[in-house]
Chains A and B, each alone.
Chain A
Amino acid sequence: MAATTESVKADAAEAPLLNQKNLWAGISLYLVFYSFIRWYEGVYGWSAGLDSFAPEFETYWMNMLYIEIVIEVLLFAGINGYIWKTRDRKVMSITPREELRRHFTHWTWLVCYGWAIYWGASYFTEQDGTWHQTIVRDTDFTPSHIIEFYLSYPIYIITGSASFMYAKTRLPTYHEGLHLMYLIAVIGPFMILPNVGLNEWGHTFWFMEELFVAPLHYGFVFFGWAALAVMGVVNTEVMAIAKLLKKDLA
């Protein structure tokens, strides 16, 4: 028994500072999942996604919408609840080596956040522009919207909130107070989702054509700027890690 405890302690001390396995697993998770989504929409966008009043639309697209929303709410609550529940209650007394390891785990989260933002804000957002030019939509829940608004946006929101929660609960750097730019970098892009409310209202009653540069879309733009606040997080992280690397790593 004693031997087991000893070996566990030794393992913990020797654990890599940057767990590359987790990093690659995180990146691959989004890549594989979104590649599947791209395949799914490629096949079922054309075979079941053209007429929203047809029964196959219900089967292949509306059901996807209902399922993804339920899973996202559960994931958001589960991941953030878990991170909060397992928070470090003595975060100010960890060793410099452990602190550095957590900074790198935090960076794994941040990289995943950037990756998730890429898929949501770049790929699936502009992709919606081309779907608008392929169909004359007969619902607000087009295949492209079901993926863009209600899948890719919630996924980066969950990733961003988890990243913030990880930093807040495990890193001394963020223990005191709330990092203003970190809040903006997470809440700003989150607000893009509620802004869908304005977007759909506007497209229903105001702009009838699909002009991508219409002022109606500027709400998305404004909240998208908030992602730049990650530069404040980078500044804080660079200062914290530089301080740690100056010290002895043990």
Chain B
Amino acid sequence: MSAQIPISTFKPYRGEKARLARAYDYLILVLALFLFIGSFHLHFALTVGDWDFWVDWKDRQWWPLVTPLIGITFPAAVQAVLWDKFRLPLGATLCVAALLIGTWVTRVFAYHYWNYFPINMVLPATMIPGALVLDTLLMLTNSLTITSIFGGAAFALLFYPTNWPIFGMFHQPVEVANSQLTIADLFGFQYIRTGMPEYLRIIERGTLRTYGQYATPLSAFCSALLCSLMYPLWWHIGKWFADTRYLSKI
């Protein structure tokens, strides 16, 4: 039972300090937004970029393994500060949303309008659902261990299913010059990339010890384990970056 306080008795403080504190909120938000777009995007593009750039890299073995693993890093680091210091349960979603803004702007204005790759060929993957679960779990449990194990696992396991509605259609088979291709393969062959011969693609090619149709779930669960380990590592990296120590000399 909470106390019933009539709205009319509650007067928000609108003095100078309130306005300043509000202005300061906006400044922090703008800094955080652009700085995280910049550094998270740089980190992401240079470690799993090719899988994220091209539709014909979005396979079953590598893409759902490495993308969550690299994607959980900045969310963990930023959560460590936003949650611990400010009780703001949005660290992961902030990072992932920032990354998506950065990638979308570049895909549209550089890939498409500068160099004319079709947008459908260079759609970024989404990690928003995993980030929401990660933030919610941390908020509800307030526990690094539980968020690592279950949040990290959810971040990886949700990746492929939540991207399937975006990329499933590019897996339609087509017959081209007596070969069976997916639409995604066809995009790769049709829109020439000068620096990317086909052998460069790091995608599933099959092995003699791959059984049935288990490639995607295997990759997702392997990624879930790795994410559970990556999460606490980056949590502590985030903690370290939030230090307020001074040095006397460099």
Instruction: Judge whether B243 and A180 touch: CB under 8 Å.
Output: yes
User: Which residues in A have their C-beta under 8 angstroms from that of B37?
Assistant: 118, 122
Measured CB to CB, the residues of A under 8 A from B are 17-18, 38, 41-42, 45, 100, 104, 107-108, 110-111, 113-115, 117-123, 125-127, 129-136, 176-181, 183-184, 189, 209-213, 217-218, 220-221, 224-232, 234-236, 238-239, 241, 245, 249
B106 at the A interface (CB under 8 A): yes
Q: Given A117-B38, A136-B194, A224-B39 in contact, is the A42-B243 Cβ separation under 8 Å?
A: no
Report the contact-size class of chain B (Cβ under 8 Å from the partner). 35 or more
Q: 22 A-B residue contacts at CB 8 Å?
A: A38-B114, A45-B114, A113-B31, A120-B38, A121-B41, A122-B105, A123-B105, A125-B45, A129-B45, A178-B246, A179-B244, A180-B245, A209-B196, A218-B47, A224-B38, A224-B43, A225-B39, A231-B81, A231-B238, A235-B242, A236-B244, A245-B20
Q: Give B75 Cβ to nearest chain A Cβ, in Å.
A: 12
Q: How far is the CA of A181 from the CA of B34 in the complex (A)?
A: 18
From B21, B30, B33, B47, A245 is in contact (CB under 8 Å) with B21
User: Please, how many angstroms separate the alpha-carbon atoms of A179 and B243 in the complex?
Assistant: 9
Known: A181-B243, A229-B241. A117 touches B49 (CB 8 A): no
| Assembled-state Cα–Cα distance A184/B246 (Å) | 12
Q: Of B42, B49, B200, B248, which is within 8 A of A121 by CB? A: B42
Q: Is the interface of B mostly helix, strand, loop or mixed?
A: helix
* Bound CA span A62–B46, Å: 27
Whether A220 and B46, one on each chain, are in contact in the complex, defined by CB atoms closer than 8 angstroms, is yes
Known: A114-B33, A226-B39. 20 other contacts (CB 8 A): A17-B16, A18-B27, A100-B20, A111-B27, A114-B30, A121-B42, A122-B105, A132-B194, A135-B194, A178-B246, A178-B247, A179-B245, A180-B243, A209-B196, A211-B50, A212-B46, A213-B47, A218-B47, A224-B38, A228-B74
